[in-house]
Amino acid sequence: MRVLVCVKRVPAPGAKINITDDGQQVDATNLGHTMSPHEECALELAVQLIEAHGGESHVLTLGTSDADEQCRWAASIGISKATLVDVDSMDWDPQRTARALTDAIRSIEDADGAFDVMIFGNESADTGGFQVGVRVARALDRPMVNAIKGIEIADDGTTLEARRETDRGFEVYRLPMPCAIGVKEGITWPRYPTMRGRLASKKLAVDVTTSDAAPGGQTKVRLDRPEEKVSETVILGHGPDAAPRAVELLRELGLLS
């Protein structure tokens, strides 16, 4: 089996995101980076598929040279190969990104054979566009389902059963392979790299390519960070002495007449 995982370098979740004065870029000064939580689970899923069925796993990312870090993290948990589409800026629209990834996948498959499964995160943690995976799958003429929380490979290796969680339970899709899926956080739990894995990742030869993909029709006007809301805690009192103030507050909220 051959499995591809597409990941994206994004600001670390929970970090304070500042915007440059012109409103066009994220100010990356002192900002940590990682990959989207959905994609961490996608990597783990790929490793588990290879452990269960044998074969080779491959990670693909588009980004600046700093994204080499995400390639080596993937290698440290068991991904076999890595390709970085090196660009001078992360400010690429979804159409252009999808075109570049599609070209890279075609090049890899021409050299090494088709991927049985392509795995994307349901959406990236920064832009949350929900577009790139679908666009790539469509360009490669492969069936795809998003928001997947569980999969099974048929014994004959020709179909993949994907489960999407809904309010009423699960929707089940059977996709002929090769296919693509967009997975959500929780489909599995990411493993942490071992010391042996970290050392092995340093020796990985990351295949670096470039892209001349044309921009799409979407343009960015500006980035807008919502105003921070500050909550304040007021101590009503201690012990029985707090009771009168608590009753007064309940009246103010309309909970007592």
* Residue in 110, 98, 108 with CA at minimum distance from that of residue 144: 98
Q: How far is CA 5 from CA 2, 61, 187, 217, 229, in A?
A: 10, 9, 14, 26, 37
Give the integer Cα–Cα distance in Å for 28 and 33: 9
Percent share of the chain, pLDDT over 70: 99
Query: Cβ(157)–Cβ(1) under 8 Å?
Result: yes
pLDDT at 217: 78
pLDDT digits (tens, 9 = 90+) for 147-179: 999 999 999 989 999 999 988 889 999 999 999
Residue 106: band (very low, low, confident or very high) from pLDDT cuts 50, 70, 90? very high
- Name the token pair of 185: 């956080």
pTM above threshold 0.85: no
Give the mean pLDDT of the chain. Answer: 90
Give the mean pLDDT of 174-196.
Answer: 94
Q: Which residues contact 195 (CB under 8 A, 6 or more apart)?
A: none
Residue 253: band (very low, low, confident or very high) from pLDDT cuts 50, 70, 90? confident
Residue 220: band (very low, low, confident or very high) from pLDDT cuts 50, 70, 90? confident
Residue ranges of domains in the chain, CATH in brackets: 2-209 (3.40.50.620)
Give yes or no for residue 223 having a pLDDT over 80: no
